[in-house]
Structure 1
Amino acid sequence: MHMNSAPHLLTEDRAEYERILDDALRNAHDRPDLAAVGQRLNAEQLRTMALNATALITTAAAAEYEHYTKIREDMRSPAAAASTRISVPASAADGASQNGAGFAAVIAVLAPVLAGTAALIFLLVGYILKMLSPTPSFAATMVAAGWFFAALTAAAILVAAIGLLLTALRNGATQLPAEESTGELPDEVSRAKEAWRHALLERGLLPFLRAALADPSADPTSAAPPRHVSRIPKVGYSGPDYSSPSEGSTSGQRPTFTSPDFTSPDFGGPEHQPE
C-alpha cells in the first residue's frame, strides 16, 4: 500500500498562507505566465479559488511544512519549560521576600529625608542659639546633633545608591542568559518557514494560478481545482491490484483420472506355458 499524505494546515498558519497568496496576486503582472490576470478571471476570483483549494495547494509543500512545524514545536517546548523553571522560583522568592523588600525600600527612601530634615533643624537652631549674647549651654549640643544627622543623611544616601546599583546588576544578570539562550532559536525557525513559503509559492500557488487561468471552464466559486492542475500530488491511498486468473486459459480443462488396468494372471497347465 502506498500512502501520499500531507499534514493539515494549522489555523495559526492560515494567515501566512493568505499573505503569500495575496503577494503572488499583487505581483502577478510581473510574471509573464500570470499576465492574464484580470482578463477572464480577476485577482479576487483567483483568490477565492485558491482559498477553496487550500488543502490541495498546501500538499505541494508538505515536506517543508512538516519540517517547519516540527522545528517550531521543538523550539516552543524547551522555551516554555525554561520560562516555567525561571518564573516559578522567581515568583516564590518574590512572594517570600515581598514584605522585607518593601520595608527596606521604605527605610531607604525615608532615612535620608528624615535625617536631612533633622540635621537642618538642629544646625539652624544651634547656630541661632550661639548668636545670642549669653550663649545657652545646649547650643553646642544642638550643633553637634545637627552635624551628626548630616553625616547620617550622607550615609543613608550612599547606602541607597549602593542598593540601587546592586539591584540593577542582579536584574541584568538574570535577563542576559535568557536573551542569549533564545537568540539563535528564531533564526532556525525562520529558515524553515522561509523554505516552506518558497515551496508553497513555487510548487503550489503559482502552478494552481497558471492552471486556473488556462482552464476556460474554471468556476471561481467552486471548490474543485482546475482540470489542468497536474503537478500537485493527490492525497490518499492506493491499494494493490487484485485480479482473478484468466478463465480462458483454464476453461474446459478438468483433471481426468484413469483407473489402473488390472488383469488376472494367466494360469494353465504345463501345456500352456507362456511363450
Structure 2
Amino acid sequence: MHMTSAPHLLTEDRPEFDRLLDEALRTADERPELATLGERLNAEQLRTMALSARALLSAAAAAEYDHFVKVREELRDVALSTPSGAAENDSGQDEDDGAGAFAVVAVLAPVLAGTAMLIFLLVGYSLKMIDPEPAFARTMVTAGWLFGALTVAALLFAVVGLLVAAVRNSSTEVAAEESVPVPDELSRAREAWRNALLERGIMPFLRDALADPSAVSGYPVPRTPGAGRIPDLGYTRPDFTSPGAPSQGTRPGYSSPDFTSPDFGGPETGPE
C-alpha cells in the first residue's frame, strides 16, 4: 500500500509538492544527475515513488516549511484583525446597493415611459376619430408624444449609466488585485521552502532511485505497461516455508493419557 498523504504538509501546500515534482521530472534532460531517466525507471514510475515517499521528502525541508507556515499564519491574523477590511466590505456593500438601485431605475423608467406613451397615443388618436372631436383628444396625443420623448431619454440614460458602471467595475477589480500584493517576507519564506524541498528532498530521491533503485527500499514501483522489467527495490516477500515431512527431524512425542476402567467383578461377585 502506498502512502499518498503527508502528515507534515498542510492540505493547501500539497499541490505545491506535486508541482515541484512535475517540474523536476519535466526538466530532467537539463539535469545531469537525472540523465539516466528512462533506462531503469521512467518518469511515471519515479513520480509514483516520490508521491509515496512525500512525508519523507517533505521532512528534508521541515525547518523552512515551519518558518513559511508561521509567517503565513501571522500575516493572516494581522489581516483578520485589521478593521479596514470590515470598512472596505461595508463600503463595497453600499456601492453594490447603489448600483442595484440604479439598475432597477434604468430598467423600469423606459418601460413605464413607453407604456404611458402607447396608452396616451392610442386613446388620443381614438378620440380624434370621433366627430365632433373632443377637446382633450389633442391633449392626450401631445402627452403621448411627451412620454415618447421621455422614453428615448430614459433609454439613452440607461445605456450611458450601464457603460459607466461597467468601466467603474473593471477599474475597481484591477485596483483590488494590485492593492493585495504578496508580502516580501512571505514570498521569501515560500521560495526558501521550495528550494529546500527541491534540492534536499526531491532531487536526491530521484537521483538515488535512478542510480540504485535498491537504495530506495520500501517503495515498490508499480508495473507500468511497456516499461519492461521492473528492478528489485529491496522489497522482498517474506520467506514462507512449508513444514517438513514427517520423516524430517524428530517429532515431539505425544501419548494419550492412560485411561483405565474401574474394576468390575464377575457375576459371581454380585450382591449377597
TM-score, normalization by structure 2 = 0.53
**Contact residue 119 and residue 144 of structure 2 kept, 8 A:** yes
Distance 1:219 1:45, change over 3 A: farther
Structure 1 residues 75 and 37, CA gap change in structure 2 (3 angstroms): same
Aligned mates of 1:46, 1:122 — CA distance in 2: 81
Q: Give the stretch that moved more between structures: 204-213 or 149-158.
A: 149-158
Q: Give me the whole-angstrom Cα distance separating, in 2, the residues matched to 1:176 and 1:167.
A: 14
The answer for the alignment partner of 1:141 in structure 2 is: 139
2:178 corresponding residue in structure 1: 180
- CA 124–74 in structure 1, closer or farther in 2 if over 3 Å, else same: same
Aligned partner (choices 192, 206, 211) of residue 209 of structure 1: 206
1:18 Cα deviation (Å)?
A: 3.1
Q: Could you report, residue by residue, the CA deviation over 1:200-220 in whole angstroms, capped at 9, with x for unpaired residues?
A: 222322223333444474254
Q: In the alignment, residue 85 of structure 1 is paired with which amino acid?
A: A
Structure 2 CA distance for partners of 1:174 and 1:142, relative to 1, 3 Å: same
Aligned residue runs from structure 1 range 148-227, under 5 A? 148-154=146-152, 156-157=154-155, 160=158, 164=162, 175=173, 177-182=175-180, 184-185=181-182, 189=186, 192-215=189-212, 217-222=214-219
CA contact (8 A) 1:64 1:192 kept: yes
**Partner in structure 2 of residue 89 of structure 1:** 90
**Partner Cα separation in structure 2 for residue 150 and residue 48 of structure 1:** 72
How many angstroms does 1:159 deviate by?
5.8
Distance (whole Å) between structure 1 residues aligned to residue 132 and residue 146 of structure 2: 25
Q: How far is the alpha carbon of 1:72 from its aligned partner?
A: 3.3
Seq. identity, %? 61
Counterpart mapping for 1:240-259 below 5 A? none
Deviations 1:103-150 (A, max 9, x none): x76565344333333334534654576577754433332333324433
In the superposition, relative to structure 1, how do residues 188 and 114 fare at CA in structure 2: closer, same or farther (>3 Å)? same
Question: Shift of residue 60 of structure 1?
Answer: 3.5
Separation in 2, partners of 1:166, 1:31: 54
- The answer on whether the counterparts of 1:49 and 1:220 sit within 8 Å (CA) in structure 2 is no
Aligned residue in 2 for 1:119: 117
| Cα shift at 1:29 | 4.6
Q: How many residues align structurally?
A: 213
Give the aligned partner of residue 17 of structure 2.
17
Aligned CA RMSD, in angstroms, stands at 4.6
CA offset digits 1:163-211 (Å, max 9, x no partner):
65675577567655533321x2288755543443233222322223333
Give the aligned residue type for 1:113: V
More displaced 10-residue stretch of structure 1: 198-207 or 124-133: 124-133
Asked whether the 8 Å contact 2:124–2:140 carries over to 1, the reply is yes
Q: Which residue is 2:69 aligned to?
A: 69
Do 2:64 and 2:193's aligned partners in 1 also have CA atoms closer than 8 Å?
Answer: yes
Q: For residues 32 and 166 of structure 1, do their structure 2 counterparts lie closer, same or farther at Cα, with a shift above 3 Å needed?
A: closer
Q: 2:57 aligns to what?
A: 57
Amino acid at match of 1:179: E
